[in-house]
Chains A and B, each alone.
Chain A
Amino acid sequence: MTLTRLRVTTPRKRDRTKPYYAWYVPYLFLLPGVLLYLLWTIYPLVYQLYISFFDWKIMPGQTSTYIGLGNYEKALADRTFWLAMQHTFAYAIITVIGQMLIGLVLAFMVHRVILGKRFFRTIYYLPVVTSWIVVSFLFLYLFSPGNSGLINYIMTQLHVIDKPISWMANGDSAWIAIYSLGIWKGMGWAMVIFLAALQGIPPDLYEAAAIDGANEWDRLRYMTLPLIQRTLFFVFVALMIGGFQVFLSVLILTNGGPLHRTEVSLTYMFNEAFGKLNFGYGAALSYILAAVIVGVSGVQTILFGRQNRDVEY
């Protein structure tokens, strides 16, 4: 039921012999938006391909030299880039699982709770509306080294660790901070979508199941989860795409350090381009990353189509 989408074709109204508008009117409506869009999105996309074939010089007076696929060959052989790619994949998978599990549990609870439904939804959504730059600074502060850092303090008090950790000085501990930030910031988003899906399930389905003697767990396992399957998949893909774009949090917390241990593809691209002024190389890296992201969202489009409105049943 969930995989085969019923396509209900609504007959278009074609009874008007002549439209009431002149032929150019639709284009006039489109013109401003399309112009802006062409200039700042389509053209840059094409232009970036062009740049990626050059050893691009940004400084005036220098000439850029055409090097064909040189930047792409360089990327394939660049171990730091592949390390960054691996880190990006790991980040996407870990944070997506974390966000989905917590988001799902939160949605179930907020759906069930009688008092303060709206209040809980608001509070749990707050991290989502707070900007990445602010929460990145906030987590840098929470994970401060030394015993005045809040996380260090709480964890030593709870005897999870016996002495304060310099979180950002070490790859593994820095990842803990980066992962926690990613999960903490996104769990409310997943929750809101799951909640909408849960609220779309007609309550009489549950009553019928209860009459049939299904217990809480059975209903969850055999009714709720299958019914929101498409939402689950949609959230998974959307979060994965978001996960591949992890950037600002890493830039602020570690800037890829120490020694590229927390490097992700976008921080690497950014530092190559705007740090070392290797714009041609950065452009090639951007294209590779874009291809990966389009590949992931392509899977979604092929399987489910872009519109995932399974909130209605």
Chain B
Amino acid sequence: MMTTSRSQQRLFNLAIFIVLCLGIMIAAGPLLYMLTTAFKGASYVQEYPPRFIPDTITLDNFIQAFTSRNFGRALLNSALVAVSTTMIVTTLSALTAYSFARFDFVGKRVMYGGLIIMLMIPGTVLLIPQFILASNLGLLNSLQGLTLVYSAGPLAFNTFLLRGFFENLPRELEESAVIDGASPFTVFWRVMLPLAAPALSTVAVFSFLGAWDEYILALNFLTDESLRTLPIAIANFRGQHSTNWGLVFAGSLTAVIPTVLLFVFFQRYFIQGVTSGAVRG
């Protein structure tokens, strides 16, 4: 006793398809506009009527961006900080999570409870003490200092994420490795980590993005122009009175393209991370 006929169903599905196609204009339209603006000549960026597809395409903005002082350097700095952060976060949260997942020790419940409570504290409210601490430790104006702060932030969440994953893995492989005389660290490194590759990829992808996109800590931590990261360099393209938006978006695209590629190729891990907790991209 179907209430809707087959052809009605088909019409309904077609309607959904069309609405979704139209919706793309809202979801991706602004990003597409950014893309085309980056390829517009300076005189066309504020033209009337505004044009989505420029008549002439130019690489001027990219050339100007990359020949401007320290932009290439900023790209390198960002890559360095993001890759180091990713390695530190992935390694340390895996170690911590493994300890919580597989070992019994005094103080385990208290420590894990403390970790979970800290999940609620948003990172932004720690801006002031982190800044003062970095200043006291002489870590302001250093990429190493920035990397350390970036690495500490996501530890709690990733430990929580990985612990859940580790606990769901079968113990048999580890147990047989132990019988063969492997040390706890060998078991972790040679047996557990390869099994945890999908979860580790999720952690890696999100910690990379977190460090790559971060703006406000970098803005306050780094004063040396040669140390600045990509988001700061992009913000600096914004003029005091008038802004060359083509230049801003050429810089922005340079920052966005790696993240979009990362997303398209590792989409599985994004979705995994998002649906297994409150990771916000």
User: A residues near B, CB below 8 A?
Assistant: 13, 19-21, 23, 25-27, 29-30, 32-34, 36-37, 39-45, 47-48, 51, 58, 106, 109-110, 112-116, 120, 122-135, 137-139, 141-142, 144, 146-150, 153, 184, 187-189, 192-193, 196, 210-211, 213-216, 234, 238, 241-242, 244-245, 247-248, 251-252, 266, 269-270, 273-274, 279, 282-283, 286-287, 289-290, 293-294, 297-298, 301, 306-307, 309, 311
Q: Is the CB of B3 within 8 A of A215?
A: yes
B103 touches A48 (CB 8 A): no
**How close is B241's CB to chain A, nearest CB, in angstroms?**
13
Asked whether, in the complex, the Cβ of A21 is within 8 Å of the Cβ of B103, the reply is yes
B61-69, B146-154, B195-203: which one contacts chain A? B146-154
Do A29 and B24 have beta carbons less than 8 Å apart?
Answer: no
Distance in Å: Cβ of B181 to nearest Cβ of chain A:
10
Residues of A within 8 A of B165 (CB): none
Q: Which of A44, A192, A241 contacts B122 (CB 8 A)?
A: A241
* Chain A residues whose CB sits within 8 angstroms of the CB of B269 once the complex forms: none
Q: Are A286 and B34 in contact (CB under 8 A)?
A: no
Measured between alpha carbons, how far is A269 from B270 in the docked complex, in Å? Answer: 32
* Residues of chain B lying within 8 A (CB to CB) of residue A141: 34, 37, 245, 248-249
Q: Provide 12 A-B residue pairs closer than 8 Å at the C-beta atoms, listed in order of the A residue.
A: A29-B184, A43-B133, A44-B130, A123-B24, A124-B24, A128-B280, A138-B34, A214-B3, A283-B128, A289-B125, A294-B121, A307-B164
**Is B19 within 8 A of A109, CB to CB?**
yes
Cβ 8 A contact of B129, one of A34, A48, A110, A213:
A48
Does the CB pair B20–A273 fall under 8 Å? no
Question: When A122-B267, A241-B122, A311-B275 are in contact, do A282 and B128 touch as well, CB less than 8 Å?
Answer: yes
Hey, which chain B residues are within 8 Å of A306, CB to CB? 116, 119, 160
How far does the alpha carbon of A150 sit from the alpha carbon of B33 in the complex, in Å?
A: 9
B70 contacts the other chain (CB 8 A): no
A266: chain B residues at CB < 8 Å are: 124
A183 vs B159: C-alpha distance in the bound complex, in angstroms? 30
Which residue of the partner chain A has the closest CB to B91? Answer: A32
For the complex, give the distance between the alpha carbons of A30 and B232 in Å: 34
Q: Is the CB of A29 within 8 A of B188?
A: yes
Is B142 in the interface zone, CB < 8 Å from A? no
10 further interface pairs, Cβ-Cβ under 8 Å (given A134-B234, A134-B255, A148-B49): A20-B178, A26-B99, A44-B126, A51-B128, A113-B13, A123-B28, A131-B259, A141-B248, A188-B27, A306-B119
Please give me the residue from chain B that is nearest to A153 by CB atom: B50
The number of inter-chain residue pairs (CB within 8 angstroms) is 275
Check A193–B275 contact: CB distance below 8 A. Answer: yes
Whether B110 sits at the interface, judged by CB under 8 Å, is no
Query: Is B47 part of the contact surface with A, judged by Cβ < 8 Å?
Result: yes
Q: Are A32 and B92 in contact (CB under 8 A)?
A: yes
Q: Are the C-beta atoms of A29 and B99 separated by less than 8 Å? A: yes
Interface residues of B (CB under 8 A from A): 1-4, 12-13, 16-17, 19-20, 23-24, 26-28, 30-31, 33-34, 37, 46-50, 88, 91-93, 95-96, 98-99, 103-105, 108, 111, 116, 118-122, 124-133, 135, 148-149, 151-153, 155-156, 159-160, 164, 171, 178, 184, 188, 209, 212-213, 215-216, 220, 231, 234-235, 238, 245, 248-249, 252, 255-256, 259-260, 262-264, 267, 270-271, 274-276, 278, 280-281
Whether A131 contacts B255 by the Cβ 8 Å rule is: yes
Residues of B within 8 A of A309 (CB): 276
Interface pair A129/B127, CB less than 8 Å apart: no
What residues of chain B lie closer than 8 Å to A211, measured between beta carbons?
1
Shortest distance in angstroms between A116's beta carbon and chain B's nearest beta carbon? 8
- Specify which of A23, A148, A279, A309 lies most central, judged by the most chain B CB atoms within 10 Å of its CB: A148
Top 9 closest A-B pairs, CB basis?
A40-B152, A131-B213, A44-B129, A29-B99, A26-B103, A33-B96, A26-B105, A33-B92, A286-B125
Q: Is the CB of A47 within 8 A of B23?
A: no
Query: Are the C-beta atoms of A47 and B127 separated by less than 8 Å?
Result: no
| Chain B contacts for A42, CB-based, 8 A | 118
- CB-CB under 8 A from B103, the residues of chain A are 19, 21, 25-26, 29
Query: Do B149 and A40 touch across chains, with their CB atoms under 8 A apart?
Result: yes
Output the least CB separation between B69 and chain A (Å): 20
CB-contact partner of A41 in B92, B108, B126, B260, under 8 A: B126
Q: A47-B133, A137-B252 are in contact. Are A20 and B119 (CB under 8 A)?
A: no
Contact for A127 among B31, B127, B220, CB less than 8 A: B31
Tell me how far the C-beta of B72 lies from the nearest C-beta in chain A, rounded to whole angstroms: 19
Q: Which of B37, B126, B128, B264 is within 8 Å of A279, CB to CB?
A: B128
* Residues of B contacting A124 in the complex (Cβ-Cβ under 8 angstroms): 23-24, 27
How distant is the Cα of A126 from the Cα of B13 in the complex, in angstroms?
24
Instruction: List A contacts of B48 (CB < 8 A).
Output: 147-148, 153
B274 & A189 in contact (Cβ 8 Å cutoff): yes
- Write out the residue numbers on chain A whose beta carbons fall within 8 Å of the beta carbon of B17: 113-116
Chain A residues whose C-beta falls within 8 Å of the C-beta of B93 in the assembled complex: 33
